Amino acid sequence: MERLQKVMAHCGVASRRKSEELIQAGRVTVNGKKVTELGVKVNPSDKIEVDGVPIYQEQPVYYLFYKPKNVISAVSDDKDRPVVNDYFTRVPERIFPVGRLDYDTSGLLLMTNDGEFANLLTHPKHEIDKVYVAKVKGIATKEALKPLRNGIRIEGRKTAPARFKVLSTDHRKGTSVVELIIHEGRNHQVKNMLSVVGFPVMKLKREKVGTLDLIGLNPGDYRELTKKEVSQLYVLANKE
Ligand code: URA
């Protein structure tokens, strides 16, 4: 048995808070009876409706996906370009990506049908580290990347302090490979940060999210998260 608002959030109806508001507003019924209190628990066979529309109770599922480059982090695309859900045709649950990676970025992307989990993980205040490896134009040095440590201004807002390492430099080609660890998820954040300090990104891969990595997977592969991994992510996200 789970709390009604938690089940609603899992099903992607709304966040847990919004689901509570829907319940209190008298818009939710369980097995035909209006529920307005927040303590009610339901099981998977209960029929839940919001404004008379049934919601389908799926068990929450969690996948770790190695997104190849040139794939859109979306469930579908109106221009028929490849999307991440194309790789999950054998998964019956209605899963979606947790946050996004750019079309040309490869790497670790979580997929789930659990809206609450997705909100928790993508909220910057939860500070889950994400490790990126970028191939950049130019010879990167510690000194040149230093401003990233304190945060830099992008579109009028300062980024949170980041950690970085220069992994290699190729003086002949004039390129470098840089590891950057951030916990925010603003649009094109890594590309923007590196370009502001003078190193335009040529290639980008996300190697880690929290304690998860891509070991054993090739681009396009996925695996289910273990129960332990899911609860570790909840623990990481809930630390304030
Ligand atoms: N930062 C970017 O610039 N792109 C991504 O895909 C992810 C982080």
With a 6 Å cutoff on the Cβ, whether 225 touches ligand 1 is no
Q: What is the pLDDT of residue 240?
A: 41
Q: With a 6 A CB cut-off, is 188 part of the ligand 1 pocket? A: yes
Query: Which atom of ligand 1 is nearest the CA belonging to 192?
Result: 3
- Whole-angstrom CA distances from 58 to 6, 48, 94, 209 are 12, 12, 8, 25
Q: Does the pLDDT of residue 30 top 60, yes or no?
A: yes
Q: Give rounded-to-5 percent helix, strand, coil for the chain.
A: 25, 30, 45
Greater model confidence, 45 or 182: 182
Report pLDDT digits (tens) over 71-84.
999 999 999 999 99
CB of 189 shorter than 6 A to ligand 1: yes
Does CATH number 3.30.70.270 belong to domain 2-55? no
Which residue has better confidence, 227 or 237? 227
Calculate how far, in angstroms, residue 187's C-alpha sits from the geometric centre of ligand 1: 7
- The secondary structure element, H or E, covering residue 17 is helix 16-24
pLDDT at residue 58, as a whole number: 81
The answer, yes or no, to whether residue 120 has pLDDT greater than 90, is no
pLDDT range class, residue 116, cuts 50, 70, 90: confident
Q: Please report, for residues 44, 89, 108, 140, the alpha-carbon distance to residue 111 in angstroms, rounded to integers and kept in the order given.
A: 22, 13, 10, 33
Domain ranges of the chain: 2-55, 62-121+211-237, 130-200
Res 134: pLDDT: 98
For 80-109, letters b (16+ CB in 10 Å) and e give eeebbbebbeeeebebbbbebbbeebbbbb
* Candidate from 98, 105, 203 with most ligand 1 atoms within 8 A of CB, to mutate: 105
- pLDDT confidence tier of residue 114, bands split at 50, 70 and 90: confident
DSSP annotation of 88 = G
Span 136-149, average pLDDT: 97
- The pLDDT-based confidence of 218 (bands split at 50, 70, 90) is very high
pLDDT digits (tens, 9 = 90+) for 156-177: 999 999 999 999 999 999 999 9
pLDDT tens digit sequence for 34-88: 999 998 999 878 999 999 999 988 888 999 999 999 999 999 999 999 999 999 9
Instruction: Give the amino acid at 127.
Output: E
| pLDDT score recorded for residue 239 | 57
Nearest to 178 by CA among 157, 158, 198, 154: 198
- % of the chain with per-residue pLDDT over 90: 79
Q: Which CATH class, in words, describes the domain spanning 130-200?
A: alpha beta
Tell me how far apart the alpha carbons of residues 34 and 29 are, in angstroms, rounded to a whole number: 4
Lowest-pLDDT choice from 122-131, 140-149, 197-206: 122-131
Is pLDDT above 70 for 191? yes
The correct answer on CATH 3.30.70.580 for the domain covering 62-121+211-237 is yes
Q: Do 62-121+211-237 and 130-200 come out as alike in CATH topology? A: yes
Q: Which two tokens stand for residue 17?
A: 């808070």
